[in-house]
Amino acid sequence: MTNVFRAKARTFWFAALWGVVSLLLILSIVGILLGLLSLFGLGIWIAYRVARGWLALRDKRPMYL
Protein backbone atom coordinates (compact mmCIF):
# COMPACT_ATOMS: atom_id res chain seq x y z
CA MET A 1 0.00 0.00 0.00
CA THR A 2 1.42 3.40 -0.90
CA ASN A 3 1.89 6.18 1.61
CA VAL A 4 -1.04 8.14 0.17
CA PHE A 5 -3.51 5.32 0.66
CA ARG A 6 -1.99 4.40 4.02
CA ALA A 7 -2.45 8.00 5.22
CA LYS A 8 -6.09 7.99 4.08
CA ALA A 9 -6.76 4.64 5.69
CA ARG A 10 -5.12 5.67 8.98
CA THR A 11 -7.11 8.91 9.05
CA PHE A 12 -10.36 7.04 8.47
CA TRP A 13 -9.76 4.27 11.01
CA PHE A 14 -8.44 6.55 13.74
CA ALA A 15 -11.37 8.92 13.19
CA ALA A 16 -13.83 6.01 13.28
CA LEU A 17 -12.28 4.63 16.46
CA TRP A 18 -12.22 7.95 18.31
CA GLY A 19 -15.68 8.84 17.01
CA VAL A 20 -17.10 5.65 18.51
CA VAL A 21 -15.23 6.22 21.79
CA SER A 22 -16.54 9.79 21.93
CA LEU A 23 -20.11 8.71 21.23
CA LEU A 24 -19.90 6.06 23.94
CA LEU A 25 -18.66 8.71 26.36
CA ILE A 26 -21.56 10.99 25.40
CA LEU A 27 -24.06 8.17 25.90
CA SER A 28 -22.73 7.55 29.38
CA ILE A 29 -24.05 10.50 31.33
CA VAL A 30 -20.82 10.86 33.28
CA GLY A 31 -18.64 11.57 30.23
CA ILE A 32 -20.79 14.00 28.22
CA LEU A 33 -18.35 16.91 28.49
CA LEU A 34 -15.32 14.71 27.83
CA GLY A 35 -17.07 13.11 24.85
CA LEU A 36 -17.96 16.47 23.34
CA LEU A 37 -14.42 17.74 23.86
CA SER A 38 -12.99 14.63 22.22
CA LEU A 39 -15.33 15.06 19.24
CA PHE A 40 -14.18 18.66 18.93
CA GLY A 41 -10.55 17.55 19.07
CA LEU A 42 -11.27 14.85 16.49
CA GLY A 43 -12.72 17.47 14.15
CA ILE A 44 -9.62 19.61 14.50
CA TRP A 45 -7.37 16.61 13.87
CA ILE A 46 -9.31 15.64 10.72
CA ALA A 47 -9.16 19.24 9.43
CA TYR A 48 -5.39 19.23 10.04
CA ARG A 49 -4.94 15.95 8.13
CA VAL A 50 -7.04 17.20 5.21
CA ALA A 51 -5.20 20.54 5.05
CA ARG A 52 -1.85 18.80 5.22
CA GLY A 53 -2.89 16.49 2.38
CA TRP A 54 -4.09 19.38 0.21
CA LEU A 55 -0.86 21.28 0.78
CA ALA A 56 1.17 18.21 -0.19
CA LEU A 57 -0.98 17.79 -3.30
CA ARG A 58 -0.56 21.44 -4.24
CA ASP A 59 3.21 21.20 -3.90
CA LYS A 60 3.23 17.85 -5.75
CA ARG A 61 4.86 16.13 -2.76
CA PRO A 62 3.96 12.71 -1.39
CA MET A 63 1.80 12.54 1.70
CA TYR A 64 3.84 11.28 4.61
CA LEU A 65 2.40 9.67 7.70
Lowest mean pLDDT among 22-26, 32-36, 57-61: 57-61
Q: What is the pLDDT of residues 29-53, one digit of tens each?
A: 888 889 999 999 999 999 999 898 8
Q: Render 2-16 in DSSP notation, one character per residue.
A: -HHHHHHHHHHHHHH
pTM greater than 0.75 (yes/no): yes
The dihedral over CA atoms of 25, 26, 28, 34, expressed in degrees to the nearest 10, equals 50
Residue 65: the pLDDT is 57
Lowest mean pLDDT among 13-17, 20-24, 31-35: 31-35
Q: Render 23-52 in DSSP notation, one character per residue.
A: HHHHHSGGGHHHHHHHHHHHHHHHHHHHHH
